[in-house]
Every structure is written in structure tokens, then in C-alpha cells.
Chains A and B, each alone.
Chain A
Amino acid sequence: MSSLTMRPCGDFRTSYQQDNTIFETKTIRFMAIAAIALLCTAPLFLDGYILTLCIQVSYLGIAALGLNILVGYTGQISLGHGAFFGFGAFASVWLNNSFQIPVFLSIPLAGFLTMGVGMMFGLPAARIKGLYLAIATLASQFIIEDFFARADWFSGGSSGASAEPFSLFGYAFDTDQSFYYVALFALVTMYIWGCNLMRSRDGRAFVAIRDHYLSAEIMGIKLNKYRLLSFGISSFYAGIGGALYAHYLGYVSAEGFTIFMSIQFLAMIIIGGMGSIKGTLMGVIFMVLLPEVLESVVGVMKMTDWGNTPMVVDGLAYIKEMAIGLVIIGFLIFEPDGLAHRWAQIKNYWKFYPFSY
């Protein structure tokens, strides 16, 4: 139905091609292209701080999309995504520093390296599922974290490693304005790839495994192969996200990639909506903005008399952590399908405005 301008009021699809299309109507495709064009001009009018937030959204968004492919689409649970993100960061820096591989090559190579490591730790996933898998990935999180702290040749040990900025044909993307384009390009590429993956044979196999793995197996889907593949793809995304993070900050140290980071990734996809590519991005934006909002709330409270206590002012870091915990619990109890579901409801409400039932 990609030739239409408006969406028809019923389901009139007559071919698989129409069923699978990313942009249902011309309007949606035009809007998407316009949005990307607008984002391309963003550095001209946005100030530096908002740009750093945008870059944060892009590298976290890539990693979170990987986790959503694993958790939301394949139904596997991973508590080690933060470690894979970190592995990507270290791997790219290591490839660049030790072998002088240019950064634009080392980022995808780091993705493939992380994919290999992810599949190695995902091997038990071929046999176990659900809760046991969650615990196995928890173990891999701690083992990889320990590896970072120990392997001096790889990660620079406790002192960390410094990363070169991203450069292409001698031009270094070392400012926020220029790196923004790298991040945007990576984000758009990885999201289009994610969309396309989900309408391919492999993507359908993932969804079949999630919905009923026994039926999927009876239909001839190799469970082991696709579970492992899903782990690999999710780690690949995490690796790319981590590598971008490393070359953006210019410095990686082992402390950041804890279990807390893994939980934050899970929180992003729960808030956004499991099994929704659009929702992933919404969840990431929510989680990036949450600390900023809390910071400004505490800033306002500081100005009042009753709020200006050391409990509030010094407790900002803890308030942020508590908010993350609360948001996870709140979304799971009140909105288990996430922001993507809420967004669809709001859209439907306006579409059918006076006759919403």
C-alpha cells in the first residue's frame, strides 16, 4: 500500500509486500525523510548540551535496540548487555590503538568481536531459557566485568584506555557538532537494519520462537541456531553502540559497565515497549531525559526554603537511582506494553476523535 497517501479505513492488503512494508503510506515515508532531514540540520540551531544528549540517545539507542531484538522479539532474557556494550567500547579502542586500524573500520570490527563473545556466552542459551538464562547472563556480566579489570593488554586495566576520535579521510569528527552526524548516521543505519531484519525470514523466526517455541520447532525453525543468532545480533548492536561511546568520549574505563548499566538497558526497552522498534527509541529518550528532569527538579527545590536541605541536595545521585527503580516498577504494573502502546492509543484517540469507541 506504499502508493497510497492516506491509510485506508480497513485491512485491504493483497500481497505480502504490502504487509511487510516499513512505511505504510506515502505520507509516513515523507514524514520520516523530513524528520531525518530536520535532524541533519539540528546542529545549526541546537546548543551544545542538547547535542550531547542527542549523541547519548544515539549510542544508547543502538545498544538498546539490540537488547530489544533479543528480549522483545526472541523472548530471551539478558542481564549482561552492559558488559557487552563495554566490550564493544574496549574492543574498538584496542583494535585502533594496537593494530592502527582506522576508527571507521574498528567500530564495525568491534561489533563483530562483541558478536563472537556474545555468542560464546549465549551458547548455554541454546539449552536453557527463561529464568536460568537470566542467571547465566548475570554470571557472564560479572565474568566480563572482571575481565576488563584484569586484562591490561586489552582494556588498559584499572587506568582505562584513551580512544582516538572518529576520523574519515583525514577529517577528525572530534567536536559535538561533527560527531553528531556520525552518531545520527549510525543510528539511522542500525534502525533501518533492525526494521528490515524483523521483516525477513530470520526476524519472523525470532518472533515465532518468542510466541511459542515448541510450535516454532515443529514448523522447522532450528531453535538453537536462531537463539544463538539472536544473541549474536544483540551483542553486535551492543558492540557498535559501545564503540561509538568510546570514540565519542575519547576515554574508556572499566568502572562504567556494571550490572546497573545492564538494568538500565532493560529499563529502556520496558519503558519503550518490548517488541517495538519505535518504542525502543522512545524508551531511550525517556531514560536519557529522566536524570535531566530530576536534576532540574532538585535545582528548583534548592531555591525554596524547605527543599534546601543536605538530604535533597547531596542525595541527587541516589534520587536518580531510586527514580529508575520506581519507573521500572511503575511501568510494569501500570503500562506493561510501554510508551509505544500508549502512543498508539493517543494516535487512535485523535484519529477517531468524536467516535473513539
Chain B
Amino acid sequence: MNFELLIQLIVNGLIVGLLYGVIGMCFVLVYKSTKIVNFAQGEFLLIGAWVCWAALVYLELPFLVGFILSLCFMAAFGVLLQMIVLRPMIGEPIISVIMITIGLSIFFQALMKWIFGVSPQSYPQVFDTQTINILGLNIEMAYLMSTLIALVIMGAFYFFFKYSKHGLAMRATAFDQQVAQSLGISVKNVFAMSWGIAATVSATAGVVLGMVNGVSDSLSIMGIKVFPAVILGGLDSIIGAIAGGVIIGVLENVAEFVDSQYLQIGNMYDIAPFYVLLIILWFKPYGLFGTKDIERI
């Protein structure tokens, strides 16, 4: 039993899991306020990472400026996407809405491949040291930054929803659209805003992941990997998304460990979350924190 490796993997899992949690939060945010399941979440990461990369490499901006520029771009992108493509779909059956986001995902994935190519590109070096040693564990600087960013984003979400006026409007809309509208909340703006926030925050996660592994179209797989996390936590619970993200992040690393040490099946890292997903859907479809859907006739 390789104990050190296990601990290293669990720590990695926690860090990646926090990122899953952040992506899952965006997913839940969009689902809660607009009742749309966003299959194009991964493309938000991809586009954000590529835009930031282009700003750093082609325009040669300093990291912080490029990063903020790409976030502004993504906010506008998310709002425009909601206004142009998803607004006509309000009230359509669920399959149509799902297919629209799948169509968007295919389109943007291919567009990014077309513009930037398929080979992974690495970011220019941001930190002086690549890895640091904490308590005998090697942790990459970018991962440390990602943990920090993830925690900051989660805190910001908390304060935004708890104390700000817009956050209150979004919670009201998520609770009941018609009541919110009758109280003078612009539901249209809330929808656009939630897409804007989701795109921006996902882009942050995309940039962080791009800094660690390089930017390539494999980033968009994150959008699919987030499903096990949000289903485990419950589709409409933000706390659930974070918890689910961390659990799935640790789980896939532990599965990888068990597999490489004992089972030798291979590919467990990618596939184990989906087995978990099926099992959850079988026994507890509303997840750990999700609200049960009670239907009345």
C-alpha cells in the first residue's frame, strides 16, 4: 500500500474537486434561475481559457489584465447568448432546451478547434516556482491559486445571494417566477445575469485549469464531468454542488489509486464518476441536498 501516493491523490482530488464545485455552482445557478440544463458549460471554460490565452500570447498583455479582459468578454458573451439563443426557447419542452445547449456546445467546440487548432497550448509562465512543498506534499502553484480562487468565488456567491439586491432578485426568481415578476423583478434581466455570471465564473475555472494542463479542447469535457457532481449534490442546491464536486474529485482520484494498485482495469479516473452517477440516479435521484419534486394532479 503506497500511503504517500494515496494522500497526494486525495489532496489533488480535493483541489480539483473544489474546481468541480465552482463549475457545478454555475451549472446549478443557471438551472435554478432559468430551469435550463446547460450542456455547453464546458465550452464556457474552453472559450474563456482560449480568449485569455490569446490575450496573453497575441496581445502580450500582463496576466492580470488579460485575465480580467477575458472575464469581461465572457460576461458579455453569456448575456448575449441568453438573449439571442435561449430567450426564444422559454416555455419549450425540455428536450428542445437540452438540444439547444447541446447544439451550442458542438458549435463552439468546433469553432474553437477551427480558430485555435487542436494541439494543446501552454500559458506563458505566471509564477516563478512551479511547485511548492507543503507538509511533504508537492502542490502546484496554479493549483494553490485555484483553491484560493475557488474559495473566493464561493464566498462571493454567498455574499451576493445573501446581501445584494440582485442576489435577492435571483433567489426570488428561482423560488417562483410569476410571483417575482409581479413584485417588479425583471425576470429577463435575472435570466441574462445568471448566464453572464455562469459564463464568467466558468471562464475563471477554465483559465486555472488551462494554466495547469495547457489549453486544448479536452477542457470542454469538464462540462460533462460536472454532471456526476451536481446530481450527487442535488440539481438545485448550491451547497450540494460544492459538496458533490469535492466528493467526485476525491472519488475519481481514489478510484484511480485503487485501480492502479490492485484492479488494473484502466481508465477508472474518467469512468468511475459515471458509475456513481448511475447508482445515485437509481437510488436517490434528487441527490444529497436537492429538493424532491412533488407532483400534483
Co-assembled chains A and B: yes
Taken together as a complex, chains A and B put the C-alpha atoms of A356 and B297 apart, in Å, by 41
Apart from the given pairs A134-B95, A267-B99, 11 other A-B contacts in the complex at a CB distance below 8 Å: A77-B98, A132-B231, A134-B98, A138-B224, A139-B274, A214-B297, A318-B111, A318-B114, A319-B114, A327-B103, A332-B100
B residues contacting the other copy or chain, number (CB 8 A): 42
Are B278 and A336 in contact (CB-based, < 8 A)?
no
Q: When the two chains form the complex, which single residue of A143, A267, A319, A327 contacts B278, counting CB atoms closer than 8 Å?
A: A143
Q: When the two chains form the complex, which single residue of A127, A149, A259, A324 contacts B282, counting CB atoms closer than 8 Å?
A: A127
Restricting to A314-342, which residues have a CB under 8 Å from any CB of B? 315, 318-319, 321-322, 324-329, 332-333, 336
Q: Shortest Cβ distance from A66 into chain B, in angstroms? A: 16
**CB neighbours of B102 from chain A (8 A):** 263, 266, 328
Taken together as a complex, chains A and B put the C-alpha atoms of A150 and B94 apart, in Å, by 34
Please list the 8 inter-chain residue pairs (A to B) with the smallest Cβ-Cβ separation, ordered nearest first.
A325-B107, A328-B103, A321-B110, A325-B106, A318-B114, A139-B274, A329-B103, A322-B110
- Looking at chain B's contact residues, is the secondary structure mostly helix, strand, loop, or mixed? helix
Taken together as a complex, chains A and B put the C-alpha atoms of A311 and B95 apart, in Å, by 34
**Could you give 19 example pairs across A and B, Cβ below 8 Å?**
A128-B281, A131-B98, A132-B231, A135-B277, A136-B281, A139-B274, A143-B271, A143-B275, A150-B266, A150-B267, A266-B99, A270-B96, A321-B106, A321-B113, A325-B110, A326-B107, A329-B107, A332-B89, A332-B100
Tell me whether A71 is interfacial, beta carbon within 8 Å: yes
- Looking at chain A's contact residues, is the secondary structure mostly helix, strand, loop, or mixed? helix
**CB neighbours of A319 from chain B (8 A):** 110, 114
Taken together as a complex, chains A and B put the C-alpha atoms of A165 and B160 apart, in Å, by 64
Are B282 and A328 in contact (CB-based, < 8 A)?
no
Q: When the two chains form the complex, which single residue of A124, A127, A149, A274 contacts B267, counting CB atoms closer than 8 Å?
A: A149
**Which of A's residues lie within 8 Å of B, judged by CB?**
71, 75, 77, 123-124, 127-128, 130-132, 134-136, 138-140, 142-143, 146, 149-150, 214, 259-260, 263, 266-267, 270, 274, 311, 315, 318-319, 321-322, 324-329, 332-333, 336
Given A263-B106, A326-B107, residue A134 in contact with residue B37 (CB < 8 A): yes
Tell me whether B88 is interfacial, beta carbon within 8 Å: yes
Tell me whether B92 is interfacial, beta carbon within 8 Å: yes
Taken together as a complex, chains A and B put the C-alpha atoms of A260 and B103 apart, in Å, by 11
Q: A133: nearest residue on chain B (CB-CB)?
A: B281
Are B113 and A136 in contact (CB-based, < 8 A)?
no
Taken together as a complex, chains A and B put the C-alpha atoms of A279 and B92 apart, in Å, by 20
Are A150 and B265 in contact (CB-based, < 8 A)?
yes
Q: B286: nearest residue on chain A (CB-CB)?
A: A132
